[in-house]
Amino acid sequence: MTTPFKNFFHQYIGVFQTLKFFWRCYGGTWELVTSPYLHVSIILAVVLHPVWLTAREKPWYEYPIGILPNVLGVTLAGYALLLAFGDEKFKKLFAGNYPDGKPSPFLVTNAKFIHFILMQAFAIFFGVAGSALELKSGFFAFVGFTVFIYSLTTAVAAGFAALTVAMSFDELVKSEENNERDEGK
């Protein structure tokens, strides 16, 4: 017989296992630290320092709170389309077990989109916390604004991941067309 206490912790174990799986498919800490999108975000946050360094009429946290909920909605719709993309033959080639033990391109692409979604959620959280605590400037403002900028730059990364899926699908179609043409000779 399970107790409510065991069920409580069992749910957390599931969340941590999912996060661990996501992190492996994303590429881990090295992928994050070496990300040009993160580097550009930090540079942009420093260049745009008047937004977060000084208390202004329009504080930094209004940007993520005002912009990202709409972006997040569109992202989730785009992610649903990505999951529905391609026929069964393509999905079998793009997904599944790979002999080198690495995640499939399907899982890597999904991890890029999940990372994009998570960064948007974190940026909204930072914005709400900054607003609630009236943290208009300082270190928290810098981190929050940087996460906001990063959530926007990861849109490019997610777009490139979607392009990779489209390119792979295009290659499959071309290959099938070439096979049909060769069989017709």
Question: What rounded mean pLDDT belongs to the chain?
Answer: 89
Among 42-56, 72-86, 106-120, 139-153, name the most confident range. 139-153
Helix (H, G, I), strand (E, B) or coil at 36: helix
Encoding tokens for residue 26? 């994303």
Q: For residue 104, what is the DSSP state?
A: P
Q: Mean pLDDT throughout 135-162?
A: 94
pLDDT band at residue 134 using 50, 70 and 90 as cut-offs = very high
- Report the alpha-carbon angle 93-95-97, nearest 5: 100
> From the CB of residue 118, how many other CB atoms can be counted at a distance below 10 Å?
15
Least confident of 31-35, 145-149, 171-175: 171-175
Closest CA to 112 of 146, 169, 162: 162
Q: What pLDDT was estimated at residue 81? A: 83
pTM: 0.86
pLDDT band at residue 121 using 50, 70 and 90 as cut-offs = very high
Check pLDDT > 80 for residue 5: no
Check pLDDT > 90 for residue 46: yes
